[in-house]
Structure 1
Amino acid sequence: MTERVEERLDLGSFDEKFYAIVGRGDENLKYFSQLFDVKISAKGTEILIRGEEDRVRAVYDFLKDIIKELRTSTLTPQEVKERARNYVRLKLEREETPREEIILITHRKKAILPKTHTQNIYVDAIRNNDIVFGIGPAGTGKTYLAMAMALAHLKANKVNKIILTRPAVEAGEKLGFLPGGIAEKVDPYLRPLYDALYDMVDYDKASYMLERNIIEIAPLAFMRGRTLNDAFIILDEAQNSTKEQMKMFLTRIGFGSKVVITGDITQIDLPKREQSGLVEAIKVLQGIEGISFVWFKDEDVVRHPIVARIIKAYEEFERAKEEQGFSKEGEGKGKD
């Protein structure tokens, strides 16, 4: 019999983040109790969780993840409930050891396979859904694994072509002012996708597929008016798409197509007056059949170990700045 335990988690203050987690009249806590099969109650700003050890740990880890996300994002109570449903479906129901299933063998005879639990979830989500959002920090394999899955689908004749697209906004340049044709204009922005492609396919074969339009590159703004059938489509850096661009892109998808959308909502380069299409899509599309959201964390970073440490250092720096700002604001309010 599993040992019964108790955990306490202090949410810190009665602000919008507190209410996003507990819900109106503790509605979310009641929902979590049923979903995770534990007893949850609130006393002040403290959450008390009682139940079997593995289930209590699951709720505790889930709430810690939500608290971390709320440091950089705004979530409604309904969105937090949706996160909980996804957590149970993708974590608690998949506790078996991750399968080391090879996605693709590169031209250098290197096997590409998921390296973390979240990457396993991501790959399975791509297999089983029409549209998958991979959201999280740089270096977690979102783009690389999407490219590997695209090439695997092409090799298995599940799709006829691969389409790579990305918003071209990072440098503040307009495509019309950049030299060359469409491929040359968008090339600097799609370089990470090229890097992944040339790492998996030899240069001559990749060039052949690009020349024959088996692999197509297209700036996001140029997708309007098209219907994309029997294609594997990767939208990279989606946090830099506008609301209008994201809606336009999602409504281009035709029969037999699969779409992977990647992005990091903490790295939005749009002008301040523009809302990110990725942020809006997260709010609008939760719970729709055929669409899956996979959230990557710092521990999923698979680049050089120093990358994870850099990401963590920046997060702690931003958190300290935010706390210092709240402190100064409090001091100001106390003055006459």
Structure 2
Amino acid sequence: MATTTKTPTAYEIDAPPVELEFPDNFLLIDLCGEHDRNLADVEQKLGVQVVRRGNQLSIHGEPEAQKEAAEVLNSLYERLEVGRAVEPADIDREVRMGVSEKGTVPAAGDQMDLGVGDRIEIKTRKKMVEPRTDAQKAYVKSLFDNELAFGIGPAGTGKTYLAVAVGVNLFIGGHVDKIILSRPAVEAGEKLGYLPGDMKDKVDPYMQPLYDALNDFLPQKQVEKLIEEKKIEIAPLAFMRGRTLARAFVVLDEAQNATTMQMKMFLTRLGEGSRMVITGDRTQIDLPRGVSSGLRDAERLLAGISKIDFNYFSSKDVVRHPLVAAIIEAYEADDPK
């Protein structure tokens, strides 16, 4: 943990600079990033200037911004001390969530702690996954605590990505025997016509986002082997009819494009020892005009049932790219409701 003192210097802008001293120069190099890009990111996000001298960083700017930047840099340094890397997404998370709301950083290999106020980390075979906003944190906790949970909100908020990460975590921990990922095979406003190839070739384009998420958490060869052994299934929603899904982690993605009957069919597949997650965005319904969205009906019909949890996201939870949040906010402002 770096020590913090204030001493006036020639760089004084709005207040005396905040001085941080870091004992490990190698970790400080990682903290600053290649060509000091991490420091530049902190400067841009918080409106401060960070000057590096030896093993010290001087933070210049408004007092509140100085304090926040110091907390962010200290928290990132603690992350490096326990063997974790610092990536742009980690800086974004620190700035978004605020250090005061987070507990200590668990060491690599520690069990995940889902206690209130603590950081949540989801362990997969390839990396640790961390929710970056309060809504994402509550969502992940809900996925572990409830047998049936909904994640509803705009694109880029991590609904599907976090759900698949939790599924992989439970699978490698032996809590479920298989992972089943599904979504309606509905075209997004375009008529693509008949696709060539066998059934797998025809449905794979619709399922590609689910493959992408899996490959982020498991080695590709292992994904292929588990799919071959039917321990991971990726299939259109229509293929779920008639099945009972026991000891499985089941994700229905793009649920806004399921009809009411399809949603009822899917929800009633839940079997003993299984967990089910339904994700969707009510603003991106691609069903034909006049066809009711099963996601909207599920919200209306199931909201009062205990042990079914609804989690909602907004543009503030977008982690895909800063411009995505701005785009969503612009469309929401133009929506006449």
Identify the TM-score tier after normalising by the shorter chain. 0.5 to 0.7
Partner of 2:151: 134
Partner of 2:48: none
Partner of 2:233: 216
Of the three residues 286, 291, 294, the one matched with 2:303 is 286
CA distance in 1 between counterparts of 2:170 and 2:187 reads 30
8 Å contact kept, 1:175–1:185: no
Partner of 2:118: 99
Answering whether residue 293 of structure 2 is matched by residue 276 of structure 1, we say: yes
2:182 aligns to what SS in structure 1? strand
CA positional deviation for 1:312: 1.0
CA 1:175–1:258: 2 relative to 1, 3 Å:
farther
CA 1:214–1:311: 2 relative to 1, 3 Å:
same
**Relative to total residues, which structure has the larger helix share, 1 or 2?**
1
Partner of 2:209: 192
CA distance in 2 between counterparts of 1:180 and 1:154 reads 31
Answering whether residue 283 of structure 2 is matched by residue 256 of structure 1, we say: no
Q: What RMSD over aligned residues (CA atoms) do the two structures have, in Å?
A: 2.0
Identity of aligned residues (%): 55
CA positional deviation for 1:176: 10
Aligned residue identity for 1:102 = E
CA distance in 1 between counterparts of 2:128 and 2:319 reads 15
Partner of 2:182: 165
CA 1:293–1:301: 2 relative to 1, 3 Å:
same
Residues 248-300 of structure 1: CA deviation (Å, up to 9, x unaligned): 11111110110000000111000112000000000000121221000111101
CA positional deviation for 1:304: 1.2
CA distance in 1 between counterparts of 2:237 and 2:164 reads 17
CA distance in 1 between counterparts of 2:307 and 2:196 reads 40
**Which runs of structure 2 are paired with 1:73-152 in the superposition (5 Å)?**
98-107=117-126, 110-152=127-169
Aligned residue identity for 1:182 = M
Partner of 1:243: 260
CA distance in 1 between counterparts of 2:151 and 2:120 reads 19
Aligned residue identity for 2:298 = A
Partner of 1:28: none
Residues 85-128 of structure 1: CA deviation (Å, up to 9, x unaligned): xxxxxxxxxxx964212112452xx3201111111110111111
8 Å contact kept, 1:243–1:280: yes
8 Å contact kept, 1:168–1:175: no
CA distance in 1 between counterparts of 2:303 and 2:192 reads 33
> Structure 1 stretches (4+) deviating beyond 4 angstroms?
171-176
CA distance in 1 between counterparts of 2:283 and 2:188 reads 17
CA 1:311–1:106: 2 relative to 1, 3 Å:
farther
2:250 aligns to what SS in structure 1? strand
Partner of 1:302: 319
Structure 1 spans left out of the alignment, 5+ residues: 1-95, 323-336
CA positional deviation for 1:173: 8.2
CA 1:171–1:121: 2 relative to 1, 3 Å:
closer
When the two structures are superposed, what TM-score results if normalisation uses the length of structure 1?
A: 0.63
CA 1:115–1:98: 2 relative to 1, 3 Å:
farther
CA distance in 2 between counterparts of 1:305 and 1:146 reads 22
2:279 aligns to what SS in structure 1? strand
Higher relative contact order by CA 8 Å / sep ≥ 6: 1 or 2? 1
1:217 aligns to what SS in structure 2? strand
CA 1:171–1:302: 2 relative to 1, 3 Å:
closer
**Which runs of structure 2 are paired with 1:167-182 in the superposition (5 Å)?**
167-171=184-188, 177-182=194-199
Aligned residue identity for 1:276 = S
CA 1:282–1:206: 2 relative to 1, 3 Å:
same
CA distance in 2 between counterparts of 1:175 and 1:99 reads 46
1:189 aligns to what SS in structure 2? helix
Structure 2 spans left out of the alignment, 5+ residues: 1-114
Aligned residue identity for 2:279 = T
Residues 155-204 of structure 1: CA deviation (Å, up to 9, x unaligned): 11111000010001125789994333333222111111111111111111
Residues 50-104 of structure 1: CA deviation (Å, up to 9, x unaligned): xxxxxxxxxxxxxxxxxxxxxxxxxxxxxxxxxxxxxxxxxxxxxx964212112
